[in-house]
Chain A
Amino acid sequence: MPAIEVENLSRTFNSLRAVDNISFSVDAGEIFGFLGHNGAGKTTTIRMLSGQLRPTSGRGCVAGCDIVTEQQRLRPLIGVVSEHQNLYERMSGRENLEFAARLYGKDTQRIEAALKQVDLLDRAGDKVQNYSNGMKQRLLIARSILHGPQIVFLDEPTRGLDPIVGREIRRLITDMSKRGVTIFLTTHYMEEADQLCDRVAFLSEGRIVALDTPDKLKSAHGQQQVNVTLDNGERRNIALDGEDAGRELQQLVSSGQVRTLHSAEATLEEVFIQLAGRRLSE
């Protein structure tokens, strides 16, 4: 059974159709990327799937629970990292996790392990208002996994973080996935999605315009050729679907004249622009 299954899900705010008839499914243990520009409907989708917002129409099933009728059963099975750093700032990191543990009816002994996992054990007694953005983000991740959820929704988890902290967050996401947690990730960063996600969906104006593995999307929408630069500066473009492509490449490599060799596949961002007609940052 899929971890997340969505059929014709829509959400309207007054006359604005924020999410428009989307359907997809996410397998258990998968890292699923949900990519789109600002206002595309990513956060609205997460809010519906996590039981915070009722859909206008359609149905969704998360961890085997209907998102409308089985919210109370659903909530202990999921973790949510909001795009906002919604922590209790006057409380310490440990107090934030203690509060979360009490809400979920879990043993507070899990807290030390969670803090260790996100490398915050040393600063656990400090007030959150004195944490850096990266520390707050790590604490949010610790809070989201404290109760052992099956699925974690991460809404822009690396936005505004420096590259080193971003890499640390990606490591935590990979760790979660290795332990069998299904990850539903929204992000602006194409490289991040390319690196982390098993599959990605492109969302534009509330609709899914493409859904596949990053490799398939790139190869489907990029050029099927290899660009070769020789020692004498000559450049050759070898079409991979040509009959002699393999032989030609082999000859060039054997001749020892090849200085560089690049595949000409598109980046995910280029695919997105091609499909959605605008950049992700717009």
Chain B
Amino acid sequence: MNLNIVSAITRKDLVDAIRHRYLLTALVTPLFVALLFRVLLPGGNNTRLLTIVVHDAGGSRLVAELRKTPQIGVVEVLSADATAGEVEKRKAIGGLVVPSGFDTDLAANKQPELTVYVNNEKTIFEQAAFRRLLEQIVRSFAKQPEPARLNWVDVDKGANDRNRGGTGLDQIMLPLLLILTFGMIGAFVVPLLIVEEKEKRTLDFLLSSPASLNEIIAGKALTGVVYTLLIAGLLLGINRQHIQNWPLTLLTIVLGLLFVVGVGLVIGSLLNNTMQVNTWASLVLIVLLAPSFPSIGITAWFDKAMRVIPTYYLSEALKLSMGGAVSSQFWMYLAVLLGCTFVVFFAAAWALHRR
């Protein structure tokens, strides 16, 4: 592979893309949304610690597990009845009542009940983060898919409507914006870079020049990588206070951008004109973005459905790496993402050489 040719194509595309109305829109949308959130939802939650009030009647190991989780601060209360009141008083994100014999019942697969209080004074994003985090911890602790019945109790349901508190670009919004960036690159930018060469017949010129098909595709992919890194870098730079583990966050971003560039190559090789890209890319974008939206407690089935979409693993890995909560689960997410990246690159190679 001739790197001079690859860099010539990338250089041309980098300059040409910002003169292209659609491409420019796709590139600046994530930054625009980030700014919009900053303006509309000022303030923001700068503390990453979720305080949880816990009543632990039987000395469960689950509480010990909660204490080990970096995002969570545990405050214990002596009675179950005092839990909800203490949640409000301490402005905690939620409360948890662990019955005695919880660990034993869990071991016996009896699906014991956990009462979980949710503080509705907090933003819906924080509430969603709390719900998701707790579900993950319980599942991970019990090593069962449905270990316990979680009985969710709203401390003040009406507060959700009153709540105007800002979230800023916290640990929910930042992964969402990053995946929006990835989605725009994968669904619009890379496919349009390829499709336009076909549509305007400039691909004929490239293919009669010393550039091979592999060099042309590498040039397009590199353009996608550069733009993703640029926009993701800006988003991370603006919100650097939310990143707890930079190396792993960057690793996740690199893996994520390789995945979406692969998706872009597949789409670009299958479609033939800009209109087709505009039609299909929106659908692809919605699918890629869906797992990164906070489920807002929709239900477990939503979570399960999202697991078939590779960006679910990207989104979860981003949340964990940015929150500094690196566990075996994080590496599992990265492994799944890596596998998906290999699959899309094989699919792209097949689709391109089939032509």
Contacts and interface: CB of A to CB of B under 8 A. Distances in A.
Contacts of A137: none
B208 A52 contact: yes
A86 B200 contact: yes
Given A86-B204, A88-B202, A104 B16 contact: no
Task: With a 10 A CB-CB cut-off, give which of B15, B19, B210, B211 has the most chain A CB atoms.
Answer: B210
Interface stretch (A28-36, A95-103, A165-173, A262-270): A95-103
A128 to B, nearest CB: 11
B19 to A, nearest CB: 4
Interface residues of A, number: 25
A100 B4 contact: no
A99 B12 contact: yes
A186 interface: no
Interface string A43-64: 0000100111000000000000
B61 interface: no
A52 B204 contact: yes
Given A87-B202, A95-B15, 6 more contacts: A82-B201, A88-B16, A90-B20, A99-B8, A104-B210, A105-B210
A86 B11 contact: no
A91 B210 contact: no
Contacts of A76: 210
Interface of A: 47, 50-52, 72, 75-76, 78, 80, 82, 84, 86-91, 95, 99-100, 102-105, 143
Contacts of A52: 204, 207-208
A273 to B, nearest CB: 31
A80 B15 CA distance: 25
Contacts of A104: 209-210
Interface string B1-39: 000110011011001100110000000000000000000
A78 B209 CA distance: 8
B205 interface: yes
23 contacts: A72-B210, A75-B209, A76-B210, A78-B208, A80-B204, A80-B205, A82-B201, A84-B201, A84-B204, A86-B201, A86-B204, A88-B16, A88-B200, A89-B200, A90-B19, A90-B20, A91-B19, A99-B8, A102-B5, A102-B11, A103-B210, A105-B210, A143-B205
Contacts of B115: none
A51 B212 CA distance: 11
Closest 9 CB pairs of A and B: A102-B8, A86-B201, A84-B201, A90-B19, A80-B208, A103-B209, A50-B208, A75-B210, A86-B202
A222 to B, nearest CB: 38
Given A72-B212, A105-B210, A86 B205 contact: yes
A86 B204 CA distance: 8
B210 to A, nearest CB: 5
Contacts of B5: 102-103
A100 B208 CA distance: 11
Contacts of A88: 12, 16, 200, 202
